[in-house]
Chains A and B, each alone.
Chain A
Amino acid sequence: MIAKDFVRQAKDPFGYSSQNVNWWNALHIDPPLLISVLLLCGFGLFVLFSASGNDLDTVRRQAFTMFLGLVVMFSVAQLPASSFRRWTPSIYFFGIGLLIVVLLIGIETNGAKSWLALPGLPSFQPSELMKFVVPMSVAWHLGSRPIPPKFRHVFWSCVIIALPSLLVVLQNDMGTALMIIMSGVFVILLAGVKWKLVIASIFAVILASPAWYLFVALPHQKNRILTFFDPYRDPTGAGYNIIQSQIAIGSGGVYGKGYGNGAQSHLDFIPESNTDFIMAVLAEEFGLLGVAVLIFLYLSVLIRAGYISLRARDSFGRLLAGSISLVFFLYIFVNMAMVSGLLPVIGLPLPLVSRGGTSVVTLFIGFGLLMSVHTHSKTVVI
């Protein structure tokens, strides 16, 4: 077995020394991914320090959460992807169970009942976890069968996606529900569903959205849509966040105002400057270049994640790794697009930069899964 590994590693396109690969592989860690993630974490803490008004406490807490995430990632990576496949149904129903518990005894913040405070655990958002549980479950469903999937398999996949999404909608957290739906849909797309079906679905969504807006959407949701199209219809109310955020970004220019000099954020004109709108702080203080650096760091993670999914040995691993990569991308894109006014505002953190607990740990679970897929695939015995 070990000898076989050596043969494989000799062909390693990245040309690691045999000795190294051996060690890293034994630890189930993928060095390029780890390095990219660590760089991203460092950059995130650096931005957070300024965004929090030079509050070391906040930064220390975030660093601790990241450390916790690394431990979780390391632990997850130790388990082979095959065992995740086995446990997927249990994890899925456990997740559904948590969502039901949230509906019963959850804590409401900002209008959404999404937090769960269980005794002995820090409070967390089960809906965040579902962003990975759902693609994992769909990958389990479709990966166990030949791809491209048949229509009835796609249908059941949709049921797998719909159940937790509905529960999250009931929590009144439309943004997270959309993210969960998208994460599941990515698996179906990667599994090779027919383009005809994809295009038909897109048309269906486009046709259905006016009906949704007219008959289903709640007033605050309509308000967000209207504000997206014209922030200045209520510049001191609903449009305030996006206007101030755009002012911060635009005033940053190419090179930014310098670290700690972001007047918009330090004078509290940007709301949620530590969390969802932290990109505005970055753009104000480091300009377009700073944002480009962040995008570069994200790209390095994404490229490695894509490579891992391509190299995965079986369908489940491929679909899981591929969907995790796309969910990660979705996080990044939706947050950046929302802060810069390209998408309506939905509550969504900027991965590894925004202050947050559950979202950070969830991301690290995703990285752990990627590493698991990558480092165990070579030793998988069918």
Chain B
Amino acid sequence: MKTLDRRGFLKTSAGAGVMTLAAPTIVRAADFPERNIKVIIPTREGGGADRNFRAFAEVWKDKLGTDFEPGFFPGASGRVGYEVYMGKEEPDCYSLIFGNMGPEVLNWAMQEPSNFSVDDYFYFGRVDVDPGCLFVGAESGLQTMDDIIAAGKERKLNVGTSRMAHPASIGLLALGEATGAQFNLIPLSGGKNTVAGAVTGEVDFSVLTSGSVIAAGDAVKTLLVFGENRVGEALDNAPSMNDAFGTNLPEMLSSRAFAIHRKAAEDYPDRFAKLQESFKATFEDPRLLESYVSLGGTPEYLSYGGVEECAEFMQAMLELGAKYKPLLTGA
């Protein structure tokens, strides 16, 4: 009969100890998620973020093994949603925020709320990249960029935008700097109103995330893209601003992404790892594209991004926000 010697005893004890110490983590990781995951959306129901969230969650829920519960907290250009997420949700990986990195980081740069720092949360999963664009109503008297530049040199043109702190607004300001045309940004509160403003003539033309412009169909005509035109005909083959005007502007993107409390990722690395893995696996599933397209998404805009890509984008937005802050805040 084999007996346990001292060395064997120590080895077994050490192994058991490691197992015991590791067990809660393994069990926690294996058990996560035990309940639904709440997702704060800082815009209204029925908007682009709602649509993208539903398309993504439809597939992600199978990968993660739990459902997602959206909660809509619009207001103050997205600030309400972030305040709710940072102030009221437990940092335990059971709550996420699905925001639009471009305008919402810019908004933070404009207002810098004292309640939390922009470093207290971070984006870890980018769903899409959607460049801003400039478009006119189908019946507008301004039908080309030449018309717009010429008119903008004669008088200040009113330009609709979803909100002041928006990448497309920055694209327009950069266009003004490059051409000498004068523009007056008019915040029309949301994508649908921005499209309506251009179509009905409330403003001379509008700038907006191109996905919403594509959805507006024949009612509008796109003249310029603040980034690469990935969809060609769907945006009326409009050129990129850098090609048309020789500028060196980074892409002015709306980029929807999931973010999480930094504390949650640090306190529960196992849970966060599971979120990241399942997020990435969702992108590998062909059902995602089907779901995204069926809910009106533009397939060319679906684009995976992890922690690094998101951080890089966020930094660029903060720098642009600081540069254009006086023009976007009226300060």
Do these two chains interact? no
Give A residues with C-beta under 8 Å from B.
Answer: none
